[in-house]
A and B are shown apart, each in its own frame.
Chain A
Amino acid sequence: MSDSLLRGNRAGPAWQRLTEHPDAPRWNHRAGDGLRPQDRQQLLGWQACFQTGRSVRAHGQVPASVLASLHLQWPPRLPRPNELAAQWHTLPTSSREDLALRPESLVPDGANLAEMLVYRTAGTTGHALLVPHHAAAAACYLPMLEFAAARHGAHWQVGPEVVAAVLLGAQQQTVTYPCTLSLWGDAGFAKVNLACDDWPQPDSPLRYLEALQPCLFSGDPISLAKLLELVTTAPGARKLRPKAVVSTAVAMGTSLRRRLEEVLAAPVIDWYSLTETGPLGYRCPLSEDYHVLPHDIHVEVLGPQGELLPAGQRGEVTVSGGRNPYLPLLRYRTGDFGSLDYGPCPCGDPMPRLVDLEGRVPVVLRDHRGQLANPVDLSRVLRDLPLVQHHLHQSTTGAVQLRLRPIAPADFDLSWAVAAVRQVLGPVAVEVAVDETLGQRIGKAPPYTSDWRLDD
């Protein structure tokens, strides 16, 4: 662990509440927000631009600030902003494949790698990738969360006494840590795992969360479903009162969302975010569409040949710009599909809406006992194998079909994959086959599919 990543942690009241509570879990990791003083200064500037920069967008028109930022980050590869605008629609696109196979082609030559962080994508909606990042870019999530929550009527005060947020996991294994967030006045934050044995007592998770009373819960639908189960099966009055819940990773079903909102008495905000870009959209309070969230990312919808599609026509969501100095994206195809609506929205947000967003369909997997299994756990064990791509399908009998594209098929032992799957799902039937064409299509090749439905 690099000390730089622990930067920002303050042993104040919030830290004490997180770490000294008798029901606190055994943490398996240490982390901080990693911000340097100059980052915090820069973030204040970014925050001001975010507040004022979200405005009406026109189809096919790249915001001048995005052009200027790309030009600055890619010298001398990109021309001046006005020339860049003129050439925009002829520029080649980039994709997850570039990031997987040629990461150096996406990292600017001048970027100082010393401050680089790496996030690994979960691998639940596409093959896992290593994504270069920066602490300041990750901290920009906070103002965006506040903004989206406010759009849903949720507000909170942050400060050193407050536990601002808890990120929930429900996995066999994931990192857990407490930390404080300097951008939120040293408020507390914790990443916890609800589905593990790291708690002092079986009922510790709920007691701990009730003691923290975080303003915000975030998590994928599986971990939020686990929270719902904890809350609704516990005896006594319900004490958890978050201001908002943010559902990430994959789309949340309407019934689960309504139940969570009812039980927690807080809005549940569906969140569209990629590790490569950070938050891209939040669910409109009045519809199922997602408003584009950041002011500094240009979103367009392209056809198979990279052509700009008319507003309202479905195509691949493609993004440019952003604030990550290690990944200033240029027409990056996300692998997700949808259309853009630039018309005025009754909710009052001027930013365009992503409509019928596809690529974030939740996948339900079950272990040999019929318990929900998190695809993140499968990604964790499969990523240790020398694979280019995989596709796992589970039928309602529990049997698994696994197609693999090994890096070196001749050297790959199929029994490795069977063992990895059974490590997570237990002794289920596993049929494995090599498919060297896997992943050779536009967009994300879904790594997991299932015949189960979330209601089953």
Chain B
Amino acid sequence: MNQALSLAEGLQWLQRMPAAFLAVPQGTGGAAAASETVYVRAVVADLFLALYGMRPTPLWLAAFDRNSSAADSDKLFLQAVLAACHLLWHPQLRLAPPGRAALERMLGEELRGWAGVATGAPTADQERSEELLRRVLRAAGRPLRGESEQEGQDRLQQVDLVERARLIAAATERQQARAREVREALARKAAEEAAAKVTRE
């Protein structure tokens, strides 16, 4: 029987990620020796071959090529893709992998969005590792052992960096709009004389 992963098992699996996956991915750091670099595009292509029997199109795979700008977000994105590939290599996930389209969306879009707001590696601490594990499981449509789908979604929302950034941005926008509203009202109403007051200060 294909038993669901527990949180502890998933995190332990992530901790056992090959050292090369933890290094600066291919092309983004420049200092790593050629023998230590991991070609992310190749890892993704091999994973798809193993899971679905065919590689993705070269055009889609180009998203995992070295980015000449070598921005931090690009490095974090490639690190997250490698860590996600490692998780997807877990025997229980290999037996029941995500749908191909869901995996393409998760690797190509969702992790890119995550890297845009992240400030540290995807396995930098337990919360980030849990977030990545839950993203992979969500793409696979599989909850953690002992959790309902709703519980899994709720917990992901708690650790979701993208959601957190969205909430902060929305709150900031609300605050800025309120600040504008207050300042404009102060300026507008200062031009009028206020209600009668029997003493001055």
Contact = CB atoms under 8 A, between A and B. Distances in A.
Contact of A118 (B175, B189, B197): B189
Given A104-B178, A118-B192, A145-B199, 8 more contacts: A2-B192, A35-B195, A107-B182, A116-B185, A118-B186, A165-B198, A191-B196, A246-B199
B192 to A, nearest CB: 6
Contacts of A119: 194, 197
A275 interface: yes
Contacts of B175: 104
A145 B200 CA distance: 12
A29 interface: yes
A34 B196 contact: yes
Contacts of B190: 118, 120, 130
Interface string B157-201: 000000000000000000100110111011101101111111111
Contact of A113 (B179, B181, B192, B201): B181
A268 interface: no
Contact of A133 (B183, B187, B194): B194
11 contacts: A33-B196, A104-B178, A119-B197, A122-B201, A130-B190, A133-B194, A167-B197, A218-B199, A248-B199, A273-B201, A274-B201
Contacts of A104: 175, 178-179, 182-183
Contacts of B187: 130
Given A33-B195, A133-B194, A103 B183 contact: yes
Interface in A126-185: 130, 132-133, 135, 138-139, 141-142, 145, 164-165, 167, 169, 175, 177, 179, 181
Contacts of B181: 113
Interface residues of A, number: 52
Contacts of B196: 31-34, 138, 177, 179, 181, 189, 191
B198 A5 contact: no
Interface of B: 175, 178-179, 181-183, 185-187, 189-190, 192-201
Contacts, number: 103
A138 B197 contact: yes
A410 B99 CA distance: 64
A35 B195 CA distance: 9
Interface string A67-78: 000000000000
Contact of A141 (B183, B192, B193, B198): B198
A117 interface: yes
Of B186, B195, B196, most A-chain CB atoms within 10 Å: B196
Contacts of B182: 103-104, 107, 113, 132
A167 B200 contact: yes
A220 interface: yes
Given A103-B186, A132-B186, A117 B199 contact: no
B186 A29 contact: no
Contacts of B197: 119, 138, 141, 167
Given A103-B182, A113-B182, A167 B194 contact: no
A33 to B, nearest CB: 5
B198 A219 contact: no
Contacts of A286: none
B200 A5 contact: no
B201 A135 contact: no
Contacts of A271: 199
A239 B157 CA distance: 78
Contact of A5 (B178, B194, B201): B194
Interface string A208-228: 000000001011100000000
B198 A189 contact: yes
A1 interface: yes
B39 to A, nearest CB: 50
B195 A167 contact: no
Nearest to B176: A104
B184 to A, nearest CB: 9
A204 interface: no
A84 to B, nearest CB: 22
